[in-house]
């Protein structure tokens, strides 16, 4: 596992875990790496200090084990968050920006919604004072 410091086009900085550097490259190329604040998928690596593992068998390395455990905990928490949103909010699909505006301006019933939008549209909603959060997706990758 590798943790990268990342930055989106709106200058939001965040960290994300990847199986390896190739995993980051693949996910970024397919648009899967998005800013958790605004949903922008124009994400680049931010400067960071390298973490160099010790030589030898890493399976006995308690730091490596703990890192993998924490990554698994994060994946589990994201999955639970998604399940909670799907169970308690209305799915509005591509109509998300319009429905969010209607709710914000009192033209529709106030309720939790989720759906899809572009990073630019998410920024526009935020600029209007409408709270929008990017809900991360977790794709399970095979383990070696």
What's CA 101's distance to the chain center, in Å?
23
- Residue 55 or 35, more confident: 35
Least confident of 20-24, 31-35, 62-66, 85-89: 62-66
What's CA 142's distance to the chain center, in Å?
20
| pTM > 0.75: yes or no | no
Backbone φ, ψ for residue 90 (5° rounding): -90, 130
Q: Residue 108: its pLDDT value, please?
A: 95
């Amino acid at each position: 596992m590798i943790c990268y410091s990342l930055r989106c086009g709106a200058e939001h900085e965040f960290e994300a875990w990847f199986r390896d550097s190739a995993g980051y490259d693949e996910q970024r190329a397919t648009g899967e790496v998005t800013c958790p604040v605004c949903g922008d998928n124009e994400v680049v690596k931010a400067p960071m200090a390298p973490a160099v593992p010790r030589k030898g068998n890493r399976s006995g390395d308690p730091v490596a084990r703990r890192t993998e455990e924490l990554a698994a905990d994060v994946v589990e928490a994201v999955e639970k968050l998604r399940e909670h949103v799907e169970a308690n909010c209305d799915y509005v699909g591509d109509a998300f920006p319009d429905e969010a505006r209607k709710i914000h301006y009192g033209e529709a019933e106030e309720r939790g919604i989720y759906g899809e939008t572009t990073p630019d549209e998410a920024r526009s909603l935020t600029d209007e004072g409408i709270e929008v959060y990017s809900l991360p997706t977790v794709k399970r990758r095979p383990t070696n």
